[in-house]
A and B are shown apart, each in its own frame.
Chain A
C-alpha cells in the first residue's frame, strides 16, 4: 500500500512538471522556435557559455524563442527528444549528439520535415545537416606549433586522447600534420606514443612516468591532446624535477591549465570559445530558416567524418593561449585574475620564466 501511494506521488509530481512545461510552450506558440537537443547538460561549459550566448544572441531576433531538451546521456531519450522537438514545430534545430550513430534516424527525420538542422560541436553525419564546430585538426596543429616554438628539435612524446573517440584522432591528425615533416627530416624523434583511456589524467600521469623511465628522462617536449592529460603529464614531470623545463601542450582552456600556463608549467592551450559557437548556432539557424541556401551560410565543406559525408560547415578556429596572451581569457570573463595567477609568485626558480606573465602583473 505504501509503495503504490509513493508511486502515485511520483507520477503526480511528474505530471505537474509536464503540465508546466506544456504551458510554457503554449505561450510561445506564436513565435518561431529555436530548438536545442543537449546530450547531457552537466558540464559547466554548456550553461555558462553555449546556452547563455545562444540566449543572448536570440535577443537580436524578437520573433524567435528558445526551447531545449536534455537527453541525460541516453541515446534513446535523445531520439525521442528530437522527435518531440519536430512535433513542436521548431523552425531550426541544433543537436549535440550523445551517440553519433543512434542520432542519425531522428536527424534524418528532422531534415525530411524541412527543418534546418545543425550538428552542434559534434558532427551528425546525415546528408543535409549543417556542421558547426571547432576545427579539431587546427587544435592539434596549435598544440604541435606551441610546443615546437619552444623546442624545435629533440625527443617528442605524444599523449593522445581516448582511442574510442573520433575527436582524439582528428586532433592527433593535426599534430602529425605539423610534426611529420620534421620527424621525416630527423629533427624530431617520437620516443613515446600512448592513448589515454577515457582522457583520464591519472592514466596520462602513469603513462608519462613510464615513458620518462624508458628514456631515462631524455624527453624534450610533450604534445598532450587536452588540458586534463596535460595535467597528468605535468604531475609526472614534477616528480622528476622536470616541470617547466619541458614544453607541454593542451586544449580546452581549463582553469587549472591556464594557471599552469601562468606558472610556466604548461606551454599552450588551444582554446575553443564556446560562446562564439553558441552565437554562430543562432545565426546559422535563423539564416537557414529564412531561406538562405546552406552553401551560402556555410564557409567550408566538411567531409572528414567516418562515413565521409560532405556537409556545409562552419569550423571556428581555436585560439592558441600562451603566457603572452592570457589576458584574452580574463577579458572573456572565462576566469578571474585571482584564479589565473594563484601561486604564480611562489614558482620555484627551476622553472624558466619566473617573472609573472603580463596578465598577472
Chain B
C-alpha cells in the first residue's frame, strides 16, 4: 500500500518538474519530500486505526507512541548531521548504553540517595561524558583520518564493554525520583497549563520568525512570498500544534484522572529538533556540515576548518547519546547493561527513512523525527494487532528498502 502511494507521489513529482505545479511548490518553498513522508505517516496511522478499531489514534496510544519514539528520535537528530557530513556512527547504541549505566552508577552508587541534586548531576555527567567520548571518536576520524566506520565500529565494541565494566554485569535500579520524570512516567508530564504555554510559545515564535523574514526581505527589496502563503503556513502549523497539545491533554493520569499534558521526553525532543534545525540552517557550523558533505575538498579550499567541524559533529552526537541514555533509563527506571543494544540500527534507519543520504550532503532533523515516528508507528501498531516480532522485523526491513528506493528514484526523476 505504501509502495503504490509512493509511486503515485513520485510520478506526481516528475510531472510537476516540467509543469506549473512544480514552479508553485518552488515558490512556496515547501519541502515536497517532507510532505511525502508526513503523508506516509498519515496513511500508516489511518491503516492501524482501522485495524485496531480506533485504538491506534486514541490519545493514550498517541501519548505512548511519542514517548516510545523519543529515545531513538533524539539520537537520530544527531545521526542526520553525521550522515550529512559523509560519516557514520555505529557506536551510538553502545555509547548510549554506557552513558546510561554511568548516569545510573552516579545516582545510585555515588551520590546520596534522594538528594535534590541527584538528577541534575547524573544528567550533566552523562552529557559531558558523551561530549568527551564524541570528541575522542571525532579526533580519530578528523585528525587521524581513520574511516568513521572503523572508529565507531571499535566504539560499538568498546563502549559495550565499558557498560559491562561499570555495571559489573548487573542491572542498576531504581532511579532517583526527580530523575524518573525525564522518562515521562506517571509524573513525567508537564500538565495541561504548561502544555498550552508550550504550544502558544511555539506558535508565536514561528509567526514571529515569518514576520521578521517578510520584513527583512522587503527591506532588501526581495520579493516576499504571497501573504496568503505565509498566513497558510502559520495556520497549518498552529493547527498541528493545537491538535498535538489537545491530544496530550486528553490523555488522563490513570489514578488521578487529571490531564497529563506533554511528556517531558517529548519536550526534550522538541528542543533538540529546534536546536539542531536552527544549527543546520542558520549557523556557519551547519552550513559547513552540509558543505563538507557536498564536497569536502571544496570546503577545505574555501578555508573551512574541516577537521574541527568533523570533530564537533561527533561531539554533538555524543551529547545526544547521553541525553537519550538518560531519557531511556529514566523511562525504564533501571539501567541494564544491554541498554541500547542494536539501537544504532534503528537510529540509522530512522535517519535514512527520514531522507538522509549516505552519499552525504542531504538530510534534515525534522525528516529524521518523522523517520523515527514511521518506524515506531509500525512497531507500535503491529504489537497492538498482536503480530510476532519476527514478522515485525521483516516489515520494518521492507519499509527501509522502500524508503531508500523511493528516494533514489525520486532523485533520478528530478534530475531528468
Contacts and interface: CB of A to CB of B under 8 A. Distances in A.
Q: Does A touch B (CB under 8 Å) in the complex?
A: yes
Contacts of B254: 217, 239-242
Interface string A195-216: 1111111100111011101100
B334 A206 contact: no
A206 B185 CA distance: 13
B333 A238 contact: yes
Given A201-B338, A205-B332, A209-B68, A231 B171 contact: yes
A43 interface: yes
Given A210-B380, A213-B60, A231 B336 contact: yes
Interface stretch (B11-19, B237-245, B358-366, B381-389): B381-389
Contacts of B386: 192-193, 214
Contacts of B128: none
B4 interface: no
A232 B389 contact: no
A350 interface: yes
B208 interface: no
A211 B383 contact: yes
Interface stretch (B146-154, B162-170, B219-227, B297-305): B162-170
Given A198-B338, A206-B383, A255-B170, A213 B332 contact: no
A265 to B, nearest CB: 9
Interface residues of A, number: 44
A259 B390 CA distance: 33
A197 to B, nearest CB: 6
B338 A199 contact: yes
B388 A231 contact: no
Contacts of B55: 213-214
Nearest to B388: A195
B334 A256 contact: yes
B61 interface: yes
Interface of A is mostly: helix
Nearest to B161: A42
| Range class of the B interface residue count | 35 or more
B170 to A, nearest CB: 6
Give the most central of B186, B255, B383, B384: most A CB within 10 Å.
Answer: B383
Interface string A337-361: 0000011000000100000000000
Nearest to B53: A214
A116 interface: no
A31 interface: no
B383 A207 contact: yes
Nearest to B68: A206
B172 interface: yes
A311 B129 CA distance: 50
Contact of B336 (A45, A228, A239, A240): A228
A194 interface: yes
B180 to A, nearest CB: 9
B94 interface: no
A235 B334 CA distance: 9
B350 to A, nearest CB: 15
A235 B333 contact: yes
A111 B168 CA distance: 35
Interface string A238-256: 1111100000000000111
A227 interface: yes
Nearest to A162: B389
Interface in B318-336: 328, 331-334, 336
B64 interface: yes
A198 B342 contact: yes
Contacts of A257: 171
Contacts of B169: 42-45
Give the most central of B61, B164, B174: most A CB within 10 Å.
Answer: B174
Interface in A275-315: none
A325 interface: no
Contacts of A202: 71, 328, 331-332, 339
A241 B332 contact: no
A96 B61 CA distance: 43
B115 to A, nearest CB: 14
Nearest to B160: A42
A163 interface: yes
Given A42-B169, A198-B338, A210 B384 contact: yes
B402 to A, nearest CB: 22
A191 to B, nearest CB: 9
Nearest to B340: A202
Interface in A20-57: 42-45
B32 interface: no
B379 interface: yes
Interface in B128-185: 161, 164, 168-174, 185
Closest 3 CB pairs of A and B: A44-B169, A210-B383, A241-B254
Interface of B: 52, 55, 58, 60-61, 64, 68, 71, 113, 161, 164, 168-174, 185-186, 253-255, 328, 331-334, 336, 338-339, 341-342, 379-380, 383-384, 386, 388-390
27 contacts: A42-B169, A45-B169, A193-B386, A194-B389, A195-B390, A197-B389, A198-B338, A201-B339, A205-B331, A210-B380, A213-B64, A214-B52, A214-B55, A228-B336, A231-B332, A231-B333, A231-B334, A231-B336, A234-B333, A235-B334, A238-B186, A238-B333, A241-B255, A256-B170, A256-B334, A259-B173, A259-B174
Given A194-B383, A200-B341, A205-B331, 6 more contacts: A195-B390, A202-B71, A210-B380, A254-B170, A256-B171, A342-B113
